[in-house]
Amino acid sequence: MKTYIARRLVAVVPVMLVVATVAFVLVHLAPGDPASVIAGPYASADDVAKLRHQLGIDHPLHIQLGRWYWRLLHGDLGTSIFLRRPVVEAILDRAEPTLLLTTAATLLAVLIGVPTGIVSARRHGGLVDQGLMVLALLGTSVPNFLLGLLMILVFAVWLGWFPVAGYVPLEGGAWRTARSLVMPAVALGLVQSALIARITRSAMLDVLREQFILAGRAKGLPENRVVYKHALKNAFVPTLTVIGISFAVLLGGAVIIEQVFNIPGLGRLIISAVLRRDYPVIQGVILIVAAVYVLVNLAVDLAYLALDPRIRYQ
Amino acid sequence: MSAAGPVAGLPRAPGSVTLTRVPVRPEREAALGAPRRGFLALLGRRRITLVGAVLVAVVVVVAALAPVLAPWDPLALDVKSRLQGPAPDHWFGTDDVGRDVLSRVLYGARISVIVGGLVVVLSVAAGLGVGLAAGYYRRLDGVLMRVMDGLMAFPAIILAIALMASLGPSLRNVVLALGIVYTPRIARIVRGSVLVVRELPYVEAAHALGASDIGIIGRHVLPNCLSPVIVQSTFIFALAVLGEAALSFLGVGVPPFVPSWGNILAEGRLYIQQAPWLTLFPGTGIMATILGLNLFGDGLRDLLDPKLRGLSGGARSAS
């Protein structure tokens, strides 16, 4: 078990190294001198030189890269060119809505997807199964931002049940925050629940064909016990994997949904940074998002230990 | 999968003997022959795959014939008739500067098909290169796959946004950014197949006969890795259509004047109360395309990759 944990922890290092390098390379992908591009055609040579210094691109490439890793190791993501404040601060300021939205959407996707998959697997081949799977297939074909727009149209514009857009921070009351996040979370999570339902169904179907399920039924265990205690526990490993991946997809999706619903989160931060070519902010946001994703997947990998004893003895 | 076996899908009577012909190039037959023969049978057997194929075909035809089908110039402004609802003159209504939405949606199909097709070409070419190299040359494996893992650690849309920031908004750059983002998906699949194929006896035999690495990879390894790549290509096509729409919707994709579905939706968002048709029509276009590709891809997977049957990933929203 210790080897398993150690192996998983060590595997994070090269991935994060590549992530950091990709973030570094981004600035240098732009054709021409990034500082001149950011400063615009009317900037003086002096201003461009200052900007080059601020971006740290006034040194040879290998020194820039070395400094970049060194700064990251110290938690320093640099200073935003336009916001004129440390990138870490800007990100922390905007993290609340994005994390709440992503977590709510993930919960929703799991709470809808897993039971749907189980019901479908129990009624394999029947009308309910076919109906649910057609719905799931349709669900995976709707882009979340489109679903968001349609929900605004129906539930905010036509029915008036929810605000059209906007976000109420937690300070303004948890209930009001929750209300402002209902539509965005549904738009984001519903589509993902379709995928989770399909994976859960197929994992459950695989497990329900196993001998130990037959043995359980043969010795007269109640069907619910067979399904929920014995089958579900075994089927949950692939499901958990897809939930981990879902979190990344939803974190990416949140960027778009924030734009649809005017939510001032990390998505709005990175889009405004892209439009102003504020590279330190872009680099900071993608680094943090990738790190969160890597850590969530690490947590998922470690959760296998609790679910599947076979891994503990590897 | 063997081309020499009985017809795929038909049960074989117990104890029956099948006369087989000896294929000239078994690996090539296995990779390409069976799917070609079984494909029409699949469409006949699975209506849902046929629905997918028809949807995809309609979108491709619309994209090809957009200049013929579109009743108006998609860029022509007519401010006097701005934000008009669907009417005989403008079946899908007009947008905020009076452009015909039907014409723009038809031309939007063109952008989607071009982006989808080119992203598939780019990511398959790069993914095959990386995957073959990583799978075949063990020394390269560690480095190449760590780079692929690192690229996959970013949510796809976020990496695409960041790449667009550096490359600048244009159709070419959207293709480039999405191509880079989806390359690791192909590379991983190809590497997995290569690791299996390279250990097979006929590859060893080719080695013993003195075939060069390039020859072995090109003639024996590559053809046997293609099936899962073809399946994945349909999903990458769908993800690219979604990705382009999402990038353009966010204002970092193709330039705003280009009639792409994402751009029309972005304008539609501002007028969602007065002009819902700006959202509904391009939205239907996107959904039909993605649904068609998902159905088609699922069917192809069942045909080419029976091991994965039922484990559909499909194209996930927001890629």
Residue A292 near residue A280, CB atoms below 8 Å: no
Query: What is the percent of chain A where pLDDT is above 70?
Result: 98
Residue B284 touches partner A, C-beta closer than 8 Å: no
CA distance A148 to A145: 5
Q: How confident is the model at residue A138 (pLDDT cuts 50, 70, 90)?
A: confident
Q: Test B146 with A15 for CB contact under 8 angstroms.
A: yes
> Is residue B148 scored above 60 in pLDDT?
yes
Q: Test A145 with B295 for CB contact under 8 angstroms.
A: no
Nearest residue of B to residue A296, measured between CA atoms: B153
User: Stretch B11-22: mean pLDDT, rounded?
Assistant: 47
Residue A223 burial (10 A CB sphere; 0-12, 13-18, 19+): exposed
CA distance B290 to B47: 17
Nearest to A83 by CA among A287, A294, A276: A276
Q: Test B287 with A141 for CB contact under 8 angstroms.
A: yes
Interface probe for A, chosen from B46, B309, B316 (most Cβ of A below 10 Å), is B316
Residue A307 near residue A236, CB atoms below 8 Å: yes
Q: State the pLDDT at residue A184.
A: 94
> Is residue B24 scored above 80 in pLDDT?
no
User: Stretch A72-88: mean pLDDT, rounded?
Assistant: 88
CA distance B51 to B194: 33
User: Stretch B280-297: mean pLDDT, rounded?
Assistant: 92
With contacts defined as CB-CB under 8 Å, which chain A residues touch B247?
A: none
Element (H, E) at A200: helix A174-208
CA distance B309 to B313: 11
CA distance B219 to B230: 18
> Is residue B30 scored above 70 in pLDDT?
no
User: Stretch A108-125: mean pLDDT, rounded?
Assistant: 91
Q: Coil, strand or helix: which one is A75?
A: coil
Q: What is the pLDDT of residues B161-209, one digit of tens each?
A: 999 988 888 999 999 999 999 999 999 999 999 998 888 898 889 989 9
Structure tokens, B244: 């382009």
CA distance A263 to A301: 32
Q: Which residue has the higher pLDDT, A260 or A233?
A: A260
What mean pLDDT is reported for chain B?
Answer: 82
Q: State the pLDDT at residue B306.
A: 56
Q: State the pLDDT at residue B314.
A: 44
CA distance B110 to B108: 5
Q: How confident is the model at residue A185 (pLDDT cuts 50, 70, 90)?
A: very high
Q: How many CB pairs under 8 A join A and B?
A: 182
Residue A190 touches partner B, C-beta closer than 8 Å: no
The CA distances from residue B226 to A10, A99, B187, B189, B267, in Å, are 33, 40, 12, 10, 40
Q: What is the pLDDT of residues A7-22, one digit of tens each?
A: 888 888 999 999 999 9
Q: Coil, strand or helix: which one is B32?
A: helix
Please name the residues between 221 and 250 in chain B that touch chain A, using a CB distance below 8 Å: 242, 245-246, 249-250
Closest-CA distance, B24 to chain A, in angstroms, reads 38
Closest-CA distance, B262 to chain A, in angstroms, reads 10
> Is residue A147 scored above 90 in pLDDT?
yes
> Is residue A92 scored above 90 in pLDDT?
yes
Q: State the pLDDT at residue B9.
A: 40
> Is residue A95 scored above 70 in pLDDT?
yes
Q: Test A252 with B157 for CB contact under 8 angstroms.
A: yes
Q: State the pLDDT at residue A86.
A: 92
Q: How confident is the model at residue A97 (pLDDT cuts 50, 70, 90)?
A: very high
Residue B93 near residue B277, CB atoms below 8 Å: yes
Of B157, B290, B310, the CB nearest to A141: B290
Q: State the pLDDT at residue B303.
A: 79
Q: State the pLDDT at residue B305.
A: 63
Q: Test B313 with A252 for CB contact under 8 angstroms.
A: no
Residue A165 touches partner B, C-beta closer than 8 Å: no
With contacts defined as CB-CB under 8 Å, which chain A residues touch B295?
A: 137
Q: How confident is the model at residue A114 (pLDDT cuts 50, 70, 90)?
A: very high
Q: State the pLDDT at residue B310.
A: 44
Residue A121 touches partner B, C-beta closer than 8 Å: no
- The upper half-sphere exposure of residue A24, i.e. CA atoms within 13 Å in the direction of its Cβ, equals 20
Q: Residue for token digits 């191509």?
A: B179
User: Stretch B265-280: mean pLDDT, rounded?
Assistant: 88
Of B159, B283, B311, the CB nearest to A146: B283
- Backbone torsion region of residue B11, taken as left when φ is above 0, otherwise alpha when ψ lies between -120 and 50, otherwise beta: beta
Q: State the pLDDT at residue B107.
A: 93
Angle at B262 between CA B258 and CA B264, to 5 degrees: 65
Of A22, A201, A255, the CB nearest to B161: A255
Residue B165 near residue A271, CB atoms below 8 Å: no
The full DSSP string for B180-230 is: HHHHHHHHHHHHHHHHHHTTSHHHHHHHHTT--HHHHIIIIIHHHHHHHHH
Q: How confident is the model at residue A313 (pLDDT cuts 50, 70, 90)?
A: low
Residue A30 touches partner B, C-beta closer than 8 Å: yes
Residue B315 near residue A161, CB atoms below 8 Å: no
Q: How many CB atoms lie within 10 A of CB B132?
A: 22
Interface probe for A, chosen from B249, B271, B317, B319 (most Cβ of A below 10 Å), is B317
Residue B12 burial (10 A CB sphere; 0-12, 13-18, 19+): exposed
Q: State the pLDDT at residue B33.
A: 45
Residue A314 near residue A7, CB atoms below 8 Å: no
- Of A24-38, A40-54, A99-113, where does mean pLDDT reach its minimum? A24-38
> Is residue B83 scored above 90 in pLDDT?
no
Of A16, A153, A274, the CB nearest to B161: A274
Task: Quote ipTM for the complex.
Answer: 0.88
Q: Test B166 with A26 for CB contact under 8 angstroms.
A: yes
Across B237-313, where does the E strand assignment appear? none
Nearest residue of B to residue A276, measured between CA atoms: B165
With contacts defined as CB-CB under 8 Å, which chain A residues touch B250?
A: 255-256, 259, 271
Interface probe for A, chosen from B152, B157, B159, B166 (most Cβ of A below 10 Å), is B166
Residue B34 near residue B8, CB atoms below 8 Å: yes
Q: State the pLDDT at residue A57.
A: 77
Q: State the pLDDT at residue B88.
A: 84
**Polymer length of chain B:** 319
Q: What is the pLDDT of residues B118-135, one digit of tens each?
A: 999 999 999 999 999 999
Q: Test B246 with A256 for CB contact under 8 angstroms.
A: yes
Of A17, A19, A253, the CB nearest to B317: A253
How distant is the alpha carbon of residue B2 from its chain centre?
26
With contacts defined as CB-CB under 8 Å, which chain A residues touch B318?
A: 143-145, 191, 249-250, 252-253, 256
Residue A258 near residue A272, CB atoms below 8 Å: no
User: Stretch A278-300: mean pLDDT, rounded?
Assistant: 90
With contacts defined as CB-CB under 8 Å, which chain B residues touch A252?
A: 155-158, 318-319
Q: Which residue has the higher pLDDT, B190 or A55?
A: B190
Q: How confident is the model at residue B312 (pLDDT cuts 50, 70, 90)?
A: very low
Q: What is the pLDDT of residues A213-254, one digit of tens each?
A: 899 899 998 988 888 888 888 888 888 888 888 888 899 899
Nearest residue of A to residue B166, measured between CA atoms: A30
- Of A28-32, A42-46, A111-115, B163-167, where does mean pLDDT reach its minimum? A28-32
The CA distances from residue B67 to B94, B102, B106, B258, in Å, are 18, 12, 8, 14
User: Stretch A150-176: mean pLDDT, rounded?
Assistant: 86
Residue B117 near residue B111, CB atoms below 8 Å: no
Query: What is the percent of chain B where pLDDT is above 90?
Result: 42
Residue A285 touches partner B, C-beta closer than 8 Å: yes
With contacts defined as CB-CB under 8 Å, which chain B residues touch A251?
A: 155, 158
Q: State the pLDDT at residue B38.
A: 63
Q: Test A255 with B158 for CB contact under 8 angstroms.
A: yes
- Of A173-187, A202-216, B78-92, where does mean pLDDT reach its minimum? B78-92
Largest Cα–Cα distance of chain B, in whole Å?
A: 78
Q: What is the dihedral of CA A222, A225, A226, A232, to 10 degrees?
A: 160
Q: State the pLDDT at residue A314.
A: 57
